[in-house]
Structures are given as structure tokens and as C-alpha cells.
Amino acid sequence: MKTLFLLGGGGAIGGAVKDFFTQQGYTVLAPRSKELDLSDEKAVVTYMKQFTTPVDALIFCAGHNDPAEVGQLTTQEIKKTYQINTVSFATIVAYLRKQFEQRKQGHILGISSLYGTISREGRAAYAMSKHAMNGLIQTLALELGPHGILCNTLSPGFVMTPMTQKNNTPQMIETLARKIPLGHLASPQDIARVAYFLCSEQNQYITGQDIIVDGGFMAGGFQHV
């Protein structure tokens, strides 16, 4: 039985990923925030020093996004966003790297965002963290490719989640849906199915890529959000 180590399994997308992989026969290890506080660098190091379970895939789905425009955005908020969204991911990969290399196989997937490619007002900290995640994954693809490990990011477009509803008014969500060629926001399950493809045996040759799953939004609908 294969094992997935999933961070952020308590969120809407993470929960869908957990359910889908479980349905495919995976054992899913998904520590909650009480077990692993990704905002605390020391807590992440302490947890990973004790983590010895062999894993076939790592998916980092945790995320922090508290919109604020530059000028109101504090250094503390930038650091918190980076720590949760990027630094903790890099730390976890560093601890798992040796076991992946020894096994000569595996998949690493970071759940990024359209804001790892473009941005939007009030999303400076979040966009910065996701651009950094994409750069990390590209570097990992180069370093780990010779060991048979495939590393990618998956960038969801607009997904109907509590975070989307928190950060957008109902009117804005309706506007976004009209700008998506498929005419509706994604479901968490839409993202989970692509995550499974990228981290399963079905994917043998895609690495170093940012796979955008947005219903066609980036093909042109992003203008004047």
C-alpha cells in the first residue's frame, strides 16, 4: 500500500485530496495543526526530526491568505504567510529528501495558485509566497530528477471553498464565474483528481511544471478582475 504525506488536509482542497487518495487505496498521513503547527518553524523541525515513515508522495496543501494592500501589510504578516506557505514546505522537503533519494522514486507536489503567476490587489504576501513555492519546485525538479523524483506545482484557479467565500463577496464570485470559460468555479474534487494524476504512477515524465487548473480563466478572463 502506498503512503501519502499530506499537509493542509483540514482545508477544503486538502480534504478532497485526502478522500480521493484514500479511495485509491493510499494510506494518508495528514497531521492537523494541533499536531504540526506550520506557522512555527521550531515545531516543524521538531516534528520532522521524529518523522520516519516511508512515503511515496508528499503534497503540501496548507495555505495562509489574509488580504492586505501594500502600505497596510505588515512585515509580521509577510513573515507569517511565507512561513506557512513556503518555508515550512521547504523544511519538510529537506527532511524527506534523503528517503526519497534512497528509494529512487516519489512525487512532490506543492499546491500553488494563479497568484504564483499573476497577482491581484491586496494579495502581495500571498502572491510572493506562491511565486517562491514555484521557484522552489523548479529547483527541486533539477536536483531530484536524477534520483527519479518528480516535483510539480498545481495551481488551482478559483475554487468554491470557505477561503474563497471569506475573501470575496457573493457578487465578486459571480463576476469571477462569468470570466471563467467553463462558467463556474472549480470544486475541491476537481483539484484532487489532478493532484492524484500528478502524484501517482500515471505520471512518469511531468516534472518541474506548474499545472494550472482554472477552467480556462488564464486564457484571457483574468483581465479586470
Cell of 97: 529528501
CA distances from 208 to 108, 137, 164, 196 (A): 10, 6, 27, 16
Q: What angle do CA 139, 44, 149 make, to 5 degrees?
A: 30
Residue 126 Cα distances to 25, 132, 193, 195, angstroms: 33, 10, 24, 21
126 classed as catalytic: yes
Q: What is the DSSP string of 20-48?
A: HHHHTT-EEE---TTT--TT-HHHHHHHH
Q: Which residue has the cell 521550531?
A: 42
Indicate which residue of 47, 126, 196, 205 is catalytic: 126
**Which residue, among 55, 49, 65, 76, has the nearest Cα to 6 in the 3D structure?**
55
Q: Is 53 helix (H, G, I), strand (E, B) or coil?
A: coil
144/93 Cα distance (integer angstroms): 11
Q: Which residues are catalytic?
A: 126
